[in-house]
A and B are shown apart, each in its own frame.
Chain A
Amino acid sequence: MSGIAVSTTINGDEVEYLCQADETLLDVLRDRLEMTGTKEGCGTGDCGACSVMVDGRLVCSCLVLGAEVQGSTIETIEGMADGADLHPLQQKFIEHAALQCGVCTPGFLIAAKDLLERNPNPTEEEIRFGLAGNLCRCTGYDKIVRAVQDAAQEMKG
């Protein structure tokens, strides 16, 4: 098929793909690369379910074109665990039951990881503001906030 040739690095692996001009990075990840860990919620940048890191910046992959990330480094939820070893945030989300349906979870984990890397010791308020771009319709957020607080404690060692 014809399309725009893009080479990029995803979770440390060099990845090349062809995409159409109007395809989003989210479309590419899910439909072309079969990396369905990143979820589509609203598709308009309101819910954060499709959060990924592009060149060290937290973004909504629904608001990035697949063609835009030529030469970029992308991190998705698939790269968060180290083999069978879960990231502390993933572990704490399970322990605190910080999810129900799970659609928002990958986005929350990516955003929370970015938050803790920038601010290893956030207050509850900083966590709530920092994760305001991620919507959850199941948990009421409390369990998510507690899981992030607990993970922050553990990551400090």
Chain B
Amino acid sequence: MQYERPETLKDAVGLLSNSKGKAFVLAGGSDLLVRMRGEYIDPDVIVDIKNVKGLDQVAKTAKGFSIGAAVPCAELGENKALKKAWPGVVEAANLIGSKQIQGRCTISGNLCNASPAADSVPALVAAGAKAVIAGPGRKRRVAVEKIVTAPGKTCLEKGELIEAIELGKQAARSGDAYLRFIPRTEMDIAVASAGVNLTLDNKGVVKSARVALGAVAPTVVLVKDAARAIIGTKLEEEALDKMALACAKACNPIDDKRGTIEFREKVSGVLAQRAAKIAYARAGGK
């Protein structure tokens, strides 16, 4: 196995494109090294992107935030401006693993690992985040919900890597939130999860919303019907019930010892309701 640490994006892309065998991107390594050790993968080349200029930064841009692909999740929790603008995204990112894992893991890696239960992904989808993809061709921006195509699979082509995740400026009277269900109190993988991002009008009525569910389908799902159920409301009980129903319908979960189909369908709706209430309060609604 060959280990490479390019210092430019161009070199990173070149290494990934021109590799003869199986090439893997290394950012935090909290999934990659585990998969190597478990012999699920046998890389020929590892391209460590932590020394690529700019990828270790959270940049405040004219459009919002750009989170470099090598920024560890712990750093997101320490970034006051990001936490203020996107508390749901940050709380989701800070639920991944332990403090030790937080010191390494990245949201780009969480996305590319393509687990249906990835914690940061529903929050990013709800927030309308975009992935900036560098590769041999032109740079492209893809909505986060379009990246993962199946468990363990992404739409990234050979030679491509995510260089950053972009979050827009949060609109006035907006809030986001993320919740997950796990059987323990910490350090576990979601059995069901929900991310909600919403914007209110000046009367406290939900003007726009995005609802995303995790761990209840092969990929994270953006549930447009759940958003529709609460748009035009102040999250009255009837609207929240409709939303939960839409969530249950959008589920296509596995049935395993961690959660039955029925349980996941029910809990995804409950989590979405609770996350919506938190997001509503964060948006200044009463």
Chain B 8-38 residues near chain A, CB threshold 8 A = 26, 28-30, 33-34, 36-38
Q: How far is the CA of A44 from the CA of B34 in the complex (A)?
A: 5
Chain B 38-61 residues near chain A, CB threshold 8 A = 38, 46, 48, 50
**B: interface residue count bin:** 20 to 34
Q: Is the CB of B3 within 8 A of A21?
A: yes
A-B CB contact pairs (8 Å), 20 listed: A22-B1, A44-B34, A44-B38, A45-B101, A51-B100, A54-B103, A57-B104, A58-B99, A58-B103, A63-B28, A63-B34, A64-B104, A65-B3, A65-B26, A65-B46, A67-B5, A68-B48, A132-B186, A132-B187, A134-B98
Q: Is the CB of B99 within 8 A of A130?
A: yes
Q: How far is the CA of A51 from the CA of B37 in the complex (A)?
A: 18
In the assembled complex, which residues on chain B have CB atoms less than 8 Å from the CB atom of A57? 72, 74, 103-104
Residues of chain A having any CB pair with chain B under 8 Å: 4, 21-22, 24, 43-45, 48, 51, 54, 57-60, 62-65, 67-68, 70, 111, 114-115, 129-130, 132-134
* 10 cross-chain pairs, A with B, having the tightest CB-CB distances, nearest first: A133-B98, A21-B3, A57-B103, A132-B186, A133-B100, A59-B103, A60-B100, A21-B1, A67-B3, A44-B34
Question: Known contacts A63-B30, A63-B33; is A70 also within 8 Å of B5 by CB?
Answer: yes
Q: How far is the CA of A114 from the CA of B74 in the complex (A)?
A: 13
Other-chain residue from A21, A48, A64, A65 in contact with B98 (beta carbon distance below 8 A): A48
In the assembled complex, which residues on chain A have CB atoms less than 8 Å from the CB atom of B186? 129, 132
Q: Is the CB of A65 within 8 A of B33?
A: yes
Q: Shortest Cβ distance from A23 into chain B, in angstroms?
A: 10
B168 CB within 8 Å of chain A: no
Other-chain residue from B1, B38, B46, B98 in contact with A132 (beta carbon distance below 8 A): B98
Q: Is the CB of A68 within 8 A of B97?
A: no
Q: Shortest Cβ distance from B5 into chain A, in angstroms?
A: 7
Using CB atoms, name the residue of chain B closest to A61: B100
Using CB atoms, name the residue of chain B closest to A63: B33
